[in-house]
Structure 1
């Protein structure tokens, strides 16, 4: 009887953790995506320029790049569970501050939101590896699907919500704080699992891997960075690219929606398949080829086939993101190392993501059209291909390092 109660409690705890991960994931995109469709209202109400308004979407990416390397260090001090819980508190505060009228509140709240989300981005892959070591693919897929579903809902529902009563853009942004509050409450039981961080004395120096010297870690980082740059550049400029092909603003918006919709099922299917394979090289190559095909299609200027290019780019984007998350777990030996790699890759990745839309805009000004920016994205697809081939091969960072040392010793 006692054993049965323990089993039931374990199952209950597992479901609570699963729901907690899903809800945390649901909060990692919607505070950002909900801003885009409201930007015209915000710009008009606060009387700000397009350049200043652009900082509202760029600032979180900069925050991701800056804080991501420090997230593992914070987690080492106070524990992963507590770090995620505190990030939800910061997220709630950030959403509340951003929803107050005033440009200062807008930017302070946005910065806090970016800092909070960067914690979840980095730590969730480690949480999954530690608690679901035999279901990494399924759990990564579930987490990614809900993150993207709520990201899409943020884009689609914000304007309708702003039109309800006196909600306005402030209420439409602030209402997503309720989702963060729910996630925080559901996550509270996890705090009992880890009251304090492991002492440094328990961490042996030989257990640490120098990720910044690992070719594999840098390959995963380049893969993560490349797909992030492509995604955020497309989100920023795809409507303008399609306008030169012949699409009006509304039709171009539907094509962006189609691309984002194609991302959702891919983010679940790819991790499940990837976990079952010893090598993920084929999936990485397929991702790069889909990106390449989509960009070549846009360069062709065929208006009729744009929906196909949008779907291919969406599938590639979902696959690229999911593979990045899977690489954090499959290429590391434990949850701690997964978090370290996640922090490294996401820091560099989101730095590239912040630069990508700006650089594409510069190339547009230089070339007077979208040919140069699309050629640039084709070059990034090549980087994704090469990095994916290295990242997709079987073996963890530690195993690859030992193999390299052995091969060097044998050659001598």
Structure 2
């Protein structure tokens, strides 16, 4: 009887893992696949640099607004149905974004951001609840799947554009949420609640008045802002430095792969550390050095791209880890998670818009890159505080 039960359970767990990995492929690629195509989208709709930057900023604003309410949705309708709804939003947003109208471009982008926001909050909760003994390994696989899908979307964007035009190139990303929906539909019958420490709506209280909570929030927010500036503008920066659109797109894809590397390596390293000050300073400093390298020696762009991907990917993972490490219980973790995601994504949304506006004013990338270097160094300084072995 036990053997029979196990034989039924194993495929269901395997199917659940496949579904998790397929959902992970939809959480970054629909955003990152836009940047290589901005050179075609901007003249088509006559967009300025700032308006084009909004295509990256809008999903991040959606993250800030919607993420804290993902837990409420899951408590009402269940994790599985809420994730299915998130996939439907991403699918609808991709289809709408590919239509031949500027309002569709922006509205579709916002809808994609809403769907990804729900998935970002609920997928880690699902992993923690259903695979408590394998959180690190499943999370590493999920980060790798997310990075590989984002890399593929960036790398194939220009080749597909040559064949079908930018609209159809952008629309092909819909294959990812459709594949996830086809597998996840088998989970919709379940109606289970999220883990207790899933991010809840931000509210006042002791966490918001804690200096340590603000240090964690700013470390995550500054590193997220730097990362999304690169996501939005790296292909344009590289093309302005003389690289072809296809080469710039492939390096943008390489950046996504590089961000996945820390997800496989950082967990065991952090487990051996008494505190995380050295790690926080190191990863933010790597990002600063890579951004400075793009500014002074763009001919070495592949090296700087990989370095930045590793540094920024590790910094964001470390920032998320601080949410658990710096809190005493699940309730406090949920409050800090809601606070850090709300403020962090707002900072991340401002980044691409601000750098685009500076570029429009000064007609170059030297000052925007200099500002991002300064932000990375500020993150290193804040990380020295957030990384101390303390709790709120």
TM range (shorter): 0.7 to 0.9
How far the C-alpha of 1:137 sits from its partner, in A, is: 2.2
How far the C-alpha of 1:186 sits from its partner, in A, is: 2.0
- Between the aligned partners of 1:359 and 1:334, the Cα distance in structure 2 is 37
- Residue of structure 2 in register with 1:181 after alignment: 178
**Cα contact 2:154–2:250 (8 A) shared by 1:** no
How far the C-alpha of 1:130 sits from its partner, in A, is: 2.2
Tell me the TM-score normalized by structure 2.
Answer: 0.83
**Cα contact 2:56–2:349 (8 A) shared by 1:** no
Q: Secondary structure at the match of 1:37?
A: helix
1:360 and 2:355 aligned? yes
- Residue of structure 1 in register with 2:283 after alignment: 287
1:146 and 2:141 aligned? no
Q: 1:392 to 1:128 in 2, by over 3 A?
A: farther
For 1:139-218, what aligned pairs fall within 5 Å after superposition?
139-164=138-163, 167-194=164-191, 211-218=207-214
How far the C-alpha of 1:350 sits from its partner, in A, is: 1.9
1:131 and 2:130 aligned? yes
1:319 and 2:318 aligned? no
Q: 1:104 to 1:358 in 2, by over 3 A?
A: closer
- Between the aligned partners of 1:333 and 1:186, the Cα distance in structure 2 is 37
CA RMSD in angstroms, aligned pairs only: 3.4
Tell me the TM-score normalized by structure 1.
Answer: 0.79
* Aligned residues between the structures: 384
**Cα contact 2:280–2:315 (8 A) shared by 1:** yes
Q: Which has the larger radius of gyration?
A: 1
Q: Secondary structure at the match of 2:34?
A: helix
**Cα contact 1:68–1:346 (8 A) shared by 2:** yes
**Cα contact 1:136–1:275 (8 A) shared by 2:** no
**Cα contact 1:91–1:113 (8 A) shared by 2:** yes
Where does structure 1 lack aligned partners over 5 or more consecutive residues? Answer: 200-207, 402-412
- Residue of structure 2 in register with 1:269 after alignment: 265
Q: 1:42 to 1:81 in 2, by over 3 A?
A: same
- Between the aligned partners of 2:133 and 2:347, the Cα distance in structure 1 is 32
Q: Secondary structure at the match of 1:101?
A: coil
Q: 1:28 to 1:157 in 2, by over 3 A?
A: same
Q: 1:388 to 1:130 in 2, by over 3 A?
A: farther
Q: 1:359 to 1:9 in 2, by over 3 A?
A: same
Of the structure 1 ranges 272-281 and 51-60, higher mean CA displacement relative to structure 2 is found in 272-281
- Between the aligned partners of 1:356 and 1:305, the Cα distance in structure 2 is 24
How far the C-alpha of 1:116 sits from its partner, in A, is: 0.7
Q: 1:191 to 1:217 in 2, by over 3 A?
A: farther
- Between the aligned partners of 1:197 and 1:68, the Cα distance in structure 2 is 14
